[in-house]
Structure 1
């Protein structure tokens, strides 16, 4: 399937590792010019080298703290300055820490919302005029399946993720006339550095595949997902192949979520 991404310009936040890095690699492999951002310069440079090694494409790296609106404006401006336009934004920056309601203090609430919700707001607001000028674009907000059905002691992350879903739906209605599509992917259990550390601490005698099946017994597909599987869905959603898909939430969870 031709995705129509050659020559498109994409910004991916939280792209130094995990789903963000896998998405940047996939976009670059499909011919897009990619800008990656995160808070740490050294990990960004390592990510850029990984992308170059895998795809043969250089990417622009911009050190960015998405909790700061001026940083978000800067990464968008640098992308347009470098490549002349902007077509795609993937709002991936975030963490997955969760606690009970009584354990979460006011500063924790604020920092989580700043990172996961306001980061997406700031980057999207900066990106939209350039997408309109380019004739349209696509935004994907990376959220989580638990934002739909929050379990016990899952705060503040499930609240931030639920807000991200609402933002996606409302934005899609407001910017559709600009030919900009906005969707969200709701992530389930996906391989990450955190999960790999847990694997090495708990079951170093198992291979990754064995550990994945062990932990994923309660998941209908029977395993932990790979970052590339999430990246494939995100790449589809920002591509021409999804040109009539907007305002929707797609679960990437192996069938584990109780909600559609």
Structure 2
């Protein structure tokens, strides 16, 4: 199916690995040009070059920290200089946390607020004016099932992802008049390199069966009894970016293998 994304320009944060890379790949496969944003400059350059070579699109690597004002300014300016603006924004950059509310310092709360919420706010302020001039666009926020169904060991992640989901809904009502559709995706268990790294660490002293550990997590939490792949999730992102999803506005979609326990 041709999703009508050829020659569109997509900014993908956290784009050099995991879910972000899979989304960038899916968009590039449809012919979109990619502004790939990440902090690790070497990994970023390699991923961008590979994507461009395999799909025949332009892929601009932008090394930037989205949790800072300077990082956002760099993303916006380089996107405008290279492409004249963007048609698609994927706010994907983020990471899990591990703490208790009673013990977590203010600085940790502030870090995650900047990374998960203010990065999305600042990128909207920076890129929406250009989207208006281009006739519209699509913005998708990658939140988490934890925005609605929290895990006990990462309260800061839960809270900031819930705030991101609400920001997504609020932004959607403000910019739909400009033909800019905003939606939110809340993934469940997705097999990213971070999950593999964590599983290996947790099983080092018990025989190293990290795959068995991940399977036990899937069986405990997901009725589908497995992790989803980044590519499975990316397919949903790519569809939401297309005009085939033209009536999807301000929604939050759970892509979680049945993990969500509520309606």
TM-score, normalised relative to structure 2:
0.92
- 1:240 matched to 2:229? The reply is no
Separation of aligned partners in 2, 1:204 and 1:54: 35
Q: Alpha-carbon deviations, 1:118-161, whole Å to 9, x = none?
A: 01111111010000000000000110111112232322111100
Does the C-alpha gap of structure 1 residues 151 and 212 become closer, same or farther in structure 2, counting only changes over 3 Å? closer
Separation of aligned partners in 1, 2:187 and 2:50: 23
CA contact (8 A) 1:6 1:30 kept: yes
* Paired residues for 1:38-117 under 5 Å: 38-117=38-117
Alignment match, 2:133: 133
Alignment match, 1:252: 255
Separation of aligned partners in 2, 1:54 and 1:182: 29
CA contact (8 A) 2:2 2:30 kept: no
CA contact (8 A) 2:116 2:160 kept: yes
CA contact (8 A) 2:41 2:63 kept: yes
Separation of aligned partners in 2, 1:238 and 1:196: 29
Match of 2:231 among 228, 233, 240: 228
* Paired residues for 1:119-158 under 5 Å: 119-158=119-158
Separation of aligned partners in 2, 1:85 and 1:125: 13
- 1:23 matched to 2:23? The reply is yes
Separation of aligned partners in 1, 2:39 and 2:176: 31
Q: Secondary structure at the match of 1:34?
A: strand
After TM superposition, what 4+ stretches of structure 1 lie above 4 angstroms from structure 2? 203-206
State which drifts further: 79-88 or 25-34.
Answer: 79-88
Separation of aligned partners in 1, 2:258 and 2:46: 33
Q: Alpha-carbon deviations, 1:151-174, whole Å to 9, x = none?
A: 323221111000001101110001
CA RMSD of aligned residues (A): 1.8
State which drifts further: 189-198 or 34-43.
Answer: 189-198
Q: Alpha-carbon deviations, 1:18-67, whole Å to 9, x = none?
A: 10111111100100010011122112112213323543434101111112
CA contact (8 A) 1:91 1:142 kept: yes
Number of equivalenced pairs: 258
Q: Secondary structure at the match of 2:143?
A: strand
Q: Secondary structure at the match of 1:2?
A: coil
Runs of 5+ consecutive residues of structure 2 not aligned to the other structure = none
Separation of aligned partners in 2, 1:225 and 1:36: 23
State which drifts further: 158-167 or 69-78.
Answer: 69-78
Alignment match, 2:197: 197
Runs of 5+ consecutive residues of structure 1 not aligned to the other structure = none
Separation of aligned partners in 2, 1:221 and 1:153: 23
Q: Secondary structure at the match of 2:115?
A: helix
* CA positional deviation for 1:195: 1.5
Q: Alpha-carbon deviations, 1:195-215, whole Å to 9, x = none?
A: 212444426557x5x665443
CA contact (8 A) 1:11 1:76 kept: no
* CA positional deviation for 1:229: 1.2
Separation of aligned partners in 1, 2:208 and 2:29: 33
Does the C-alpha gap of structure 1 residues 153 and 212 become closer, same or farther in structure 2, counting only changes over 3 Å? closer
